[in-house]
Amino acid sequence: MKKFYFFVLIVFILQACSAGKISKSVISSESVITSESINTSETVNKEVVETNFKNEKLEDVNNPNQLVLSENALADLGLQYNDEDISQGFITEKLSNFNIEVVQYDGYDETGPTKYYIGWKGAQLFSLTLDKQNKASVDVLTIQSVSIVDSYGARIGMNFKQLLVLRPEITIGIDPITQRPICKVENSSISYKFCCNESGKTSFSPEEMASLKITEIVWKKALF
């Protein structure tokens, strides 16, 4: 009889230990599933936020009342080519839907005398110079107002992380004149100047750029 009770006791203990192992196994499995769910949720939420942000900015681009800079034009003003030489009156006519005053200034650049054209609407919107070999095309156009958006949805005041959502292929460089960060995309004529940074730096990581904001959007002929 004692042997029988001892045998029953051993079986009970083994069952209890087995049940404990199963419980621990189930808890561990649930823990892993929860962790994966959280990581997946964070990834999905980030993608949703970025997609919504991009769609919102592209809605601005498609607004017929919005002045838009593309790879080839500022509204109806061609940048690569026009059917006549660009002048103060020509620019005014091409941007007539936006009631912009265009002013012409004589000045100098590294190649000698040149003409600058400034767009005004309560404040300076842009400045441009012409290609000296072809007066029907623009050499450099600099956007200086938040009221103008480029065809990718970028504006002045936008930070680097936001620009990266709109143009993920962006690369970071240094403007040789201002020594400030400038971001470019291969085969694109549109680049972005940022402010501000530590003087003397020759390179910046995306982490260092994260909070810096666009101060100018530049279109330059044959940028690459």
Mean pLDDT along residues 65-92: 96
Least confident of 59-63, 127-131, 176-180: 176-180
CB 174 within 8 A of CB 203: yes
- Reported confidence tier of residue 73, pLDDT bands at 50, 70, 90: very high
The three-class DSSP label of residue 45 is: helix
Instruction: Read off the pTM.
Output: 0.77
Mean pLDDT along residues 162-187: 92
Residue 53: exposed, middle, or buried by beta-carbon count in 10 A (0-12, 13-18, 19+)?
Answer: middle
Evaluate the omega torsion of the peptide bond into residue 183 and state whether it is cis, within 30 degrees of 0.
no
Per-residue confidence (pLDDT) for residue 109, from 0 to 100: 81
Q: What is the CA radius of gyration of the chain?
A: 30
**8, HSE (Cβ side, Cα atoms, 13 Å):** 5
Q: Is the model more confident about 42 or about 209?
A: 209
Per-residue confidence (pLDDT) for residue 67, from 0 to 100: 97
Mean pLDDT along residues 208-221: 93
Predicted confidence (pLDDT) at residue 57 exceeds the cutoff of 50: yes
Per-residue confidence (pLDDT) for residue 55, from 0 to 100: 86
CB 57 within 8 A of CB 153: yes
Return mean pLDDT, the chain. 82
Cα–Cα distance, 22 to 27 (Å, whole number) = 9
| Measured CA angle at 67 (ends 106, 51), to 5 deg | 135
- Reported confidence tier of residue 44, pLDDT bands at 50, 70, 90: low
Mean pLDDT along residues 19-44: 43
